[in-house]
Structure 1
Amino acid sequence: MRRRVLAATAALLLVGGVAGTAAADAPAGRSTPAAVAAVTVPSGVTAGVAVFDRQAGTFTEQLNTSMQFRSASVVKILLALDFLWNRGPDYSVPAADRARLEPMLRSSKDGSADYYWTANGGSAIITRMVSRLGLLDTAPPPAGYEGYWGYTALSARDTVTIYRYLLDQAPAPVRDFVMGNLRQSTRCASDSFDQHFGIAGAFDKPWAVKQGWSGSYAEGTCGPVGAASAAAANTKTTATAAAVDLTRPALHSTGTVGANDRSIVAVYTLHPVGTSYGKAYTDIGRLTRSLNVPGATRPAGWWYGTWSEHVNVRRDPSTANAPMTQLPAGVEVLIGCQKRGQEVQVPPYTNDWWAYLPQYGGWISNIYVSSPDNRIPDVREC
């Protein structure tokens, strides 16, 4: 498979007719949906990728498919399957467990994973699921890290196997419970990280996703402003040498895309130490948008980089109302259209144009968009 390297370049920000340089890791320029020829792996990123077309019964993308990555929160699917395994004949889920499992699958709640990891045997869960599903590369956390479910090893090809079991072999109540919750993935995770990167940003619904992140990322910025937490989940900060990389920041996107779950997609990525969450979010987004995913519909709009930290997303093109959420610093966003609104000042710059972000259902001031003019040249007016 051909592999293209996307070089990261600094964006030149021109606002108010005055030139200035954007943050060094702000994505440069525009990236519109286009025909896809090969997996695009951004510079410095290590990736494992698999895309399986269930209708054709073939892989359309394969890159380092057997490479082991620490799973981060993707392992929560296995925790849920292990709990549900022998609950027949109706596979009913008690209310107390539903209250744990639903936020674990939808919002990646770590407390729920902690509970099931402790209650059901820790690493023995992984050993059981490897045997039950015939997984080839999945392994429990390494010695010394037995309490860290996020250090379970997973690969892209094993992830496809897990989803194929869920969709084609699992009892209908199990399939409907797990996949139904993954279809309701919340933008804001329980730890206030924006988890709609990768699949969720690259393709229109229908999709179902289980994401993962692990490493020394700065605090999350999703949800009500000021509610962010400052730690990556289930991560031991003094990682030693291990077969699976436990040091570089990880960001993973897995799930299904298209009507009737046409394609299974697994994207695992590792990023250079010190990479910001917004940069990793942008890089996995660019990689995922480059994939050949049968049945996928790509969202209409224009991809642009942003600059600055704590950029507020507003319900209308003004600062009159409280922010809906904040963007990860320097992240690339999809812009649907733009219009004039309240003038915003970031001395010495001013701008009264606002960009509508359809994936957030809100607006940001164009002053924070990496564009050569106040009005973004190629974006239509609302």
Structure 2
Amino acid sequence: MGKVSGVFLLVGLCLGAIVAMLVVPRGGSNTPAVAEAASGAAAMSVEPEASEVPISVAAPPSASPPPKKEADPGEPGAIDPKGIAALNPGGQVSVVVYDRTVKKNTVSLQPDRSYTSASLVKILIALQALQDGAPPGTVQRMLSASDDNIASALWSTHGGAAIVTRWAAKIGLTGTRPPEDPGRWGDTRIIAADIAKIYRYVLDQAGATTRTTIMRALSGATESGADGIRQYFGIPDAVGDLPWSIKQGWSCCRGARILHTSGVVGKNDRYIVVVLTSQPTSTTYASGGKRVTDVVKALVPALGEP
């Protein structure tokens, strides 16, 4: 019995050792497994505590670059000023685009450069004539067909050069001056920033009858002016299906050919667009008009609807 007991004791000790080896973890036994998993996870480092159970680390999906942000058509950064200037070689160009929704200029290029107004001054003549009680139909005809004879008659009747001085003070026009020769209303001096202000006044501050009369005339502008010059250059030829209302200006040739396009574009008259140009006298009205149209086409990305 003593020998048998000794044998049982020896067997018991062996079994105990085996159980201890199975139950007690070896120090660092998890580390190789984690390191191996990390090597397959794009060099991802995982350092678990010794008491953690072995884990597997799945490789993350390959990172793809964030989608490129599309340019906002309404951002002024979408417009290249140097590119616009290059569209009128040998001449000068000024541009203002005012967004009435966000209430700020979204494009501004040489807004304070001075030009002769040509027929753009007719908007001021219209404001004064309507205030003085002139027939709306007469004012509309002057604007829609850019009729110089009507403009001359209203200019003389309603104050001449004082019209410019009066409305410049009323609206806050900083670069608008009456002509040196009081009889030559088309030689009124203007800047693009002021023309944009005139449209803002008509749309937002003028009385309802005045606003309706002027805007109805501008939205109904005839393709040819009363003098036979085609006046759909610039805004009408450039903006496609967007609604527009315009007042154009042209004159020649006292040192330069003048071609201006101005008006409102878009739903609810959202954008005020003003493009003033002086061009070499060697250009024709047709070729000069195309230059102005090309400038407005370059501005179309700034006229995006939300």
Q: Normalised by the size of structure 2, how large is the TM-score?
A: 0.70
The reply to whether residue 260 of structure 1 matches residue 268 of structure 2 is yes
Contact 2:90 2:279 in 1 (8 A): yes
In structure 1, distance between residues paired with 2:304 and 2:124:
26
Identify the residue that residue 276 of structure 1 maps to in structure 2: 284
Report the counterpart of residue 105 of structure 2 in structure 1: 59
1:197 is aligned with what amino acid?
Answer: F
Amino acid at match of 2:277: T
Q: CA deviation at 1:99?
A: 4.1
The AA in structure 1 aligned to 2:248 is Q
Letter in 2 for 1:279: S
- Structure 1 residues 94-243: aligned runs within 5 Å: 97-142=135-180, 145-203=181-239, 204-216=241-253
Structure 1, gaps ≥5 residues long: 1-34, 88-92, 217-245, 298-382
Q: What is residue 76 of structure 1 aligned with on the other side?
A: 122
Cα distance in 1 for residues equivalent to 2:265 and 2:295: 16
The one-letter code sitting in structure 2 at the alignment partner of 1:51 is V
1:206-256 deviation line (CA, Å, top 9, x unaligned): 11000000004xxxxxxxxxxxxxxxxxxxxxxxxxxxxx52000000000
Q: SS in structure 1 opposite 2:245?
A: strand
Whole-angstrom CA distance in 1 between matches of 2:208 and 2:139? 17
Instruction: Name the counterpart of 2:302.
Output: 293
Q: 3-state DSSP class of the match of 1:56?
A: coil
For 1:78 and 1:293, the matched residues in 2 are separated by: 27
Query: Secondary structure of the equivalent of 1:293?
Result: helix
Aligned equivalents of 2:259 and 2:79: distance in 1? 23
Alpha carbons 1:105, 1:210 under 8 Å: kept? yes
Fraction of identical pairs, as percent: 38
Other-structure match for 2:80: 38
Superposed CA deviations along residues 314-372 of structure 1, whole A, max 9, x for unmatched, are xxxxxxxxxxxxxxxxxxxxxxxxxxxxxxxxxxxxxxxxxxxxxxxxxxxxxxxxxxx
Contact 1:45–1:270, Cα closer than 8 Å, also in 2: yes
Q: Report the 3-state secondary structure (helix = DSSP H, G, I; strand = E; otherwise coil) of the residue aligned with 1:175.
A: helix
Indicate if the aligned counterparts of 2:94 and 2:113 stay in contact, CA closer than 8 A.
yes
SS at match of 2:203: helix
C-alpha change, 1:172 and 1:99, in structure 2 (3 Å) is: closer
* Alpha-carbon distance in 1 for matches of 2:119, 2:278: 14
Amino acid at match of 2:117: S
Aligned residues: 224
Does structure 1 retain, via aligned residues, the 8 Å contact 2:96–2:193? yes
Q: Distance in 1 between matches of 2:164 and 2:189?
A: 9
Cα offsets for 1:279-327 (capped at 9, x unmatched): 1011111111101433469xxxxxxxxxxxxxxxxxxxxxxxxxxxxxx
- Could you tell me how far 1:86 is from its partner in structure 2? 5.3
Letter in 2 for 1:101: V
Could you say which residue in structure 1 is the equivalent of 2:46?
Answer: none
Residues 105 and 296 (structure 1 numbering): CA distance in 2 closer, same or farther, change over 3 Å?
Answer: farther
* Partner deviation per Cα, 1:182-215 (whole Å, 9 max, x = no partner): 0001101100000001111111341100000000
Distance 1:104 1:201 in 2: 22
Query: Are the counterparts in 1 of residues 117 and 186 from structure 2 also a CA contact under 8 Å?
Result: yes
Quick one: which amino acid aligns to residue 214 of structure 1? S
Q: Once the 2 structures are TM-superposed, how far is the Cα of residue 131 of structure 1 from its aligned partner?
A: 1.2
| Matching residue of 2:17 | none
Q: Distance in 2 between matches of 1:56 and 1:44?
A: 34
Runs of 4+ in 1 over 6 A off after TM superposition: none
Could you tell me which residue of structure 2 aligns to residue 361 of structure 1? none
Which structure has the larger Rg over C-alpha atoms? 2
**Amino acid in structure 1 at the alignment position of 2:151:** A
Whole-Å Cα distance in 2 between the matches of residues 154 and 211 of structure 1? 14
What's the TM-score, normalizing by structure 1?
Answer: 0.56
Alignment map for 1:345-360 (pairs within 5 Å)? none
- SS state at 2:303 partner: coil
SS at structure 2 position matched to 1:290: helix
